[in-house]
Amino acid sequence: MKKKKGEIQRQRIIIYYVLAIVLPCLILGILAIRGIRNDQALVEREQRSSLLESGQQIISETDEYLQDVENSFTAIAGSISVPRKRIFNDSLLCNFSSQHQAIAGIFYLPETGPPYLLNYNLLYVPDDFSSVTDITRPQSMENILEKGWQIEFRENDYRKALRYYQNVPPDVNSKNSQGEILNIIARLQKKLNLYDDAIKTYDLIWNDYTDVLIQNKIPLGAVASLEKSLLCIEKKDSVSALETVCLLLTQLQKSAWETEYSHFSNFLTKADEIVSLCENPNNEEIKNLIESINALQDSISSLVKHTEYLMAFLQSGDIMVDNTNQGTSNHRYKTRINGKSYFFSLVPANGLGEWGLIMDQDDILNNSVYHSIITNKGTSDVSWELTDANGEQLSKSDFFTEETSPVGVVFPSDLPFWSLTFYPEYTGLFNSLFRPGAGIFLYIFIAIVVILAFGLFFTLQTVNNELHLSKMKSYFMSTVSHEFKSPLTSIRQMAEMLVHGRVPSTERQHKYHTTILQQSERLSHLIDNILDFSKMEEGQKVFRFEKADITPVVKNVVESFKDHTALQGFNIDLSIPEPVPEIVFDREAMEQVMHNLLDNACKYSGDARKVEVQLLSKGNNVIISVRDYGVGIRKEDHDKIFSRFYRTGDELTQTVKGSGIGLTIVKQLVEAHNGEITVGSSPGKGSTFTVILPMKGTDIPHSQSRQSGS
């Protein structure tokens, strides 16, 4: 039944906790979550519109990037003369092109007909577009060659042929003829195995006649370098051979000659063959040279791609402009030729034609679009992807997630067909809560957590305290009932015997009367204790202080105990070394204190039968100590024994009747006198309780009374 009551109490506290703390917190939490969700939706909406804004900003920056190029071109366009050849050269335009990476090519578009292309960065020209016409030799040169040919191929006399060519008076007016003769001399030297001489001759050609075109429009420099390399290989001099190939490739990369495609690819193949003849992994110098050659070849192949791209444009005839997508700015166009897409701007030229700037779309991406995306505040830490007209991905952010629904901007028709898609940052509930500016909701959540934690802590503590108290109370009730029962039983039995005249001897009758008296006194003390305890618990205890000598009080209690305990063989010794001064005290309270201390001393004496009481004055205090030689108290219990209902767990103590309030009352009574009680004890050796009462005592004047505070 008791257990049930405790259980009900605990359940009630938990229900209070749930109703008073958990429920409000829950409601507050739900409201806060709704608030966060609204906030989150608002943030997402803001983020999406700011991304759209950023997208427009990126587009307009791209447009400005192109406009800059177009404007600076327009500024010089007026001073450029109209070209006459399909592939033309113009130093001003070449210079302009080199300064603007966004330009992939410059062309001139006459009013009718196919475009004309600037030869800037063209590695070769298609065979049918070459501006160079095949050379025609002067008659004198034809005659010289005719005669030399006779000697070399009819007579097969190479020495004579060599001498003949070496002695031919050079045709001073024609560098071409001189170059051609030197080339023949080198060939003859080679045939005569005069390799060193031949190499020298090719060096001379390379240095002084490199641009000379011989028949079939072949540049003499290229021929000389390839021949020289082959001779070096013959001489097992791979290093010189590769150095020569390096020079040749450098020239080709710089488009030093206006080479026709067939010759250009022929030179590259020959250079490759020479390199493959020289490969020698053990020679460090050769390895280095081959590395440089590879780098040159890589650069040439990317330029080849560029040349092919522009050649496709040049060979397209009329430019079929994609009118459906013609730009709003009216001067930017897109077209596709042989699978390649071109994006170009037209600027009016002198005369009836227009100048065209083919824009390098990769450059616009790298130097404008990506740069704008990365530097734009709104997009710098957002996932994005850029796709072309076919939906193929051109690029994306380093970190890329498609978790959220995308926000996209499509580039307008006067820019290339690109679309930019952003995937806004995912703002989860948790992220929203901790995002800067979440403010009130974060505080609400912190408050909820704190309230719940504190509430739980205090509830648990209250439940525990309640349980502990109810346990202690029931223990108190049972011990107190026992304490009452034994004196009452003996009083009743003795009284019955006396009443029924069953105790004939007067001596025995006297003994019975004395015992009845003692037991009733004991009961009365017990009741005093309980009454005092309950009064003090409620702060109702009234004291009657008076200034008096405490010695008689101590003596009386000791004497009464001596009488009571004499039968049990106790030897209670009172020592008062010298008279103590008067102090302010409450007589009844002090009797109670002495009684409780002496009662404990006897109760917990075990087999010992000696109790010493001392009354003395020391300094400004009157000290009463009660010492026994009994069971003693463990150190850890010294403080606890003064708490309500506390009884030590020792077996010996448990066999002794007690209520656990005796020392609590002693402490409260002593403290009401502004005094102090201390205990010194060790198990098995006994205990000494010392009451220290200040001589000044309470400030309450003689015979005045006061209530005890709890």
Q: Which is nearer to ligand ADP, 109 or 631 (CB)?
A: 631
Output DSSP code: residue 22. I
Q: Which is nearer to ligand ADP, 221 or 632 (CB)?
A: 632
Choose the stretch contacting ligand ADP; rule: CB under 6 A; options: 148-156, 364-372, 431-439, 654-662. 654-662
Choose the stretch contacting ligand ADP; rule: CB under 6 A; options: 211-219, 299-307, 565-573, 627-635. 627-635
**Sheet strands (E) in 561-699:** 571-575, 583-586, 610-618, 621-628, 676-682, 686-694
Provide φ and ψ at 512, rounded to 5°: -65, -45
Q: Which is nearer to ligand ADP, 115 or 662 (CB)?
A: 662
- Residues 465-524 binding ligand ADP (CB under 6 A) are none
N-terminal to C-terminal alpha carbon distance within the chain: 32
Least Cβ distance, residue 35 to ligand ADP (angstroms): 57
Residue from the set 242, 293, 631, 693 that interacts with ligand ADP by CB under 6 A = 631
Residue 293 CA to residue 460 CA, distance in Å, equals 83
Residue 209 CA to residue 257 CA, distance in Å, equals 12
Is residue 660 involved in binding ligand ADP (CB under 6 A)? Answer: yes
Radius of gyration for the chain, computed over Cα atoms and rounded to the nearest angstrom: 59
- Is 358 in contact with 103 (CB distance < 8 Å)? yes
Residue 284 CA to residue 305 CA, distance in Å, equals 32
Least Cβ distance, residue 550 to ligand ADP (angstroms): 21
Q: Which is nearer to ligand ADP, 221 or 662 (CB)?
A: 662
Is residue 647 involved in binding ligand ADP (CB under 6 A)? Answer: yes
Is residue 565 involved in binding ligand ADP (CB under 6 A)? Answer: no
Q: H-helix or E-strand containing 37?
A: helix 23-77
Residue from the set 47, 659, 668, 698 that interacts with ligand ADP by CB under 6 A = 659
Output DSSP code: residue 607. T
Q: Which is nearer to ligand ADP, 171 or 612 (CB)?
A: 612
Is residue 677 involved in binding ligand ADP (CB under 6 A)? Answer: no
Residue 13 CA to residue 130 CA, distance in Å, equals 102
376-411 in b/e burial notation, b at 16+ Cβ within 10 A? bebbeebbbbbbeeeeeebeebeeeeeebeebebeb
Choose the stretch contacting ligand ADP; rule: CB under 6 A; options: 85-93, 203-211, 385-393, 653-661. 653-661
- Residues 273-292 binding ligand ADP (CB under 6 A) are none
242-251 in b/e burial notation, b at 16+ Cβ within 10 A? bbbbbbbbeb
Dihedral sign for Cα atoms in the order 235, 237, 238, 240: negative
Q: Which is nearer to ligand ADP, 424 or 660 (CB)?
A: 660
- Residues 572-611 binding ligand ADP (CB under 6 A) are 596, 600-601, 604
Residue from the set 83, 658, 675, 697 that interacts with ligand ADP by CB under 6 A = 658
Least Cβ distance, residue 478 to ligand ADP (angstroms): 13
Least Cβ distance, residue 526 to ligand ADP (angstroms): 9
Least Cβ distance, residue 647 to ligand ADP (angstroms): 3
Long-range CB pairs of 631-635 (<8 Å, 24+ gap) are 631/604, 631/605, 631/606, 631/683, 631/684, 631/686, 632/681, 632/682, 632/683, 632/684, 632/685, 632/686, 632/687, 633/679, 633/681, 633/682, 633/683, 633/687, 634/683, 635/682
Residue from the set 47, 238, 648, 668 that interacts with ligand ADP by CB under 6 A = 648
Is residue 630 involved in binding ligand ADP (CB under 6 A)? Answer: yes
Least Cβ distance, residue 452 to ligand ADP (angstroms): 39
Q: By CB under 6 A, how many residues form the interface with ligand ADP?
A: 22
Residue from the set 178, 518, 519, 687 that interacts with ligand ADP by CB under 6 A = 687
In the complex, the residues that contact ligand ADP under the rule CB under 6 A are: 596, 600-601, 604, 628, 630-633, 641, 646-648, 653, 658-664, 687
